[in-house]
Chains A and B, each alone.
Chain A
Amino acid sequence: MSRIVIDSSKCKACYLCIKECPKNLIRVSDKTNKLGDRVVEFSDPDGLCLGCALCATRCPDLAITEVYKG
């Protein structure tokens, strides 16, 4: 199963990754960063992630630190 790892301490809530995900597996969470912005989270209950790394390629903050294809 493919997956991504998000370091939410690095997420600045620009949400560019959300638009990139072809399977819409990244969403705004309830957790906030230091500025009070709600950071993103990865949710893939059905195992749809392709491991394409488009999200990580787009993320300007290297907050998506790992992507695995499986």
Chain B
Amino acid sequence: MKILVCASTTPDTTTKISFVNGNTKFNTEGVSYILNPYDEWYALVRALEIKEALGTGSVTLLTVGPASDEANIRKGLAIGADDAVRIDAEPISAFFTATQIAEFARGKGYDLLLFGKETIDHNGSEVPAMVAELLDLPFVSYASSLQLEGRTAVLDRDIEGGKEVVEAPLPIVVSAAKGMAEQRIANMRGIMMAKTKPYQTVPPVAVDPKTSIAAFELPKPKSGVKLVDADNMSELVRLLHEEAKVI
């Protein structure tokens, strides 16, 4: 079983977001980066579990990003990926990133291409579907469970108000949601081994990103909380009805 796990890096979830250059650029000063949680906690861990259960196969971690992503890629190796690839480019748009991933994966015979359901910085949920189309593969999104029955993948797919159990033949593209696996913490042995695992850097292919970001904005802060006495819930109801007009 040859598995490719695509993971991006993203600002730590506690990051206070701000922008520079007239609100056109994310202010990276003092920001620490993590692997995108869905990619690390669910896609990567499930890939490792599948490999372990079969007792054979390989898990390759792929990131499209700058050299500063290396520490996080090493973390993915420490958790258990066999080797890692970094495509040396800023992931400037979903289409740009998807093209890099698809061009790398094409013809390499991956059985499973695992993604997170979305990045917590771009929040697009676009890249995996694009990769699937570029490679003409089936795609199941928001999978909260992934089992293999021979060459058939059986997945729970989160849908609005429920779940669908679906099956599809390998090779397949899957995006992972909460429930697919439990987060793993790298141990000392993993961290030591990660230092010597294969890690290659690949140049990007040239492609029109098609979509770009012109400017950023911060949401308007709330004007201040109106406190209502705990004994006076009919006053709260009145405010919600007459002032906020939400009930």
Asked whether A and B interact, the reply is no
The interface of chain A, by Cβ under 8 A from chain B, is none
The interface of chain B, by Cβ under 8 A from chain A, is none
